[in-house]
Amino acid sequence: MQMEQDTTFIYRYSAKENKEISEIRKKYLPQNENKFEELKRLDKIVQTAGKTEALSLGIGGTMMLGLGMCLAMQIIGNGMAMMAIGVILGLIGMMGIAAAYPLYRKIFKKTKEKYTPEILMLAEELSGGKSVQ
């Protein structure tokens, strides 16, 4: 006569572990964004618009200016040709640095114009129809 054994193993997690499991699970579920969260998200998009592009251009221009200065002062390389290349690179670097802020303002303005109607509509809706100023 053969007896069947139940080989099921049940493990229960502690309250702390259950909370952590729930938080991890929540990250992977579809998110239902409420209007206040949407307003904050849109505002963040507008406030950060153009920063990455402008920083990249400014840092790249600074690096090019530094390389140009090294070549022009003959810290690296020597001869008139390297000096001339260094001056040209330095000027290009200065133009990149000078263009960084206008690039930021242009992207910021374009993004702000794009999202303003939606942000104002949500702000008015959340404030109960009162004009927000």
The per-residue pLDDT for range 79-105, each reduced to its tens digit, is 999 999 999 999 999 999 999 999 999
Query: Among all chains, which residue has been given the structure tokens 């100023």?
Result: 133
What total of structural domains would you count in the chain?
1
132 pLDDT above the threshold of 90: no
The CA distances from residue 18 to 22, 30, 31, in Å, are: 6, 20, 20
- Would 87 be classed as within a structural domain? yes
Is position 83 within any domain?
yes
Q: In the predicted model, what is the mean pLDDT of the chain?
A: 88
Q: What is the DSSP letter of 76?
A: S
Q: Average pLDDT, stretch 121-131?
A: 80
Crossing angle between the packed helical segments 35-48 and 80-126, to the nearest 10 degrees? 160
The more confident residue out of 132 and 48 is 48
Determine, yes or no, domain membership for 73.
yes
SS3 label, residue 60: helix
Residue 32 has pLDDT above 80, yes or no: no
pLDDT the model gives residue 115: 94
21 in a structural domain: no
Residue 84 lies in a domain: yes
Is residue 47 included in any domain, yes or no?
no
The candidate with the shortest Cα–Cα distance to 87, out of 64, 112, 62, is 64
Asked if residue 37 is part of any domain, the answer here is no
- Residue 21 pLDDT: 84
In-domain check, residue 89 = yes
pLDDT above 80 for 60: yes
Proportion of the chain in helix, strand, coil states, percent, rounded to 5: 75, 0, 25
Kindly tell me if the per-residue pLDDT of 64 is higher than 60: yes
Q: pLDDT band for 34, please (50, 70, 90 cuts).
A: confident
**More confident: 19 or 65:** 65
Domain encompassing residue 104: 58-125
| CA-wise closest residue to 60 among 50, 72, 71, 68 | 68
Q: Quote the Cα angle for 6-8-9, to 5°.
A: 135
Q: Which of 14-18, 52-56, 61-65, 96-100 has the lowest mean pLDDT?
A: 14-18
Asked if 90 and 68 count as a contact pair (C-beta separation under 8 A), the reply is yes
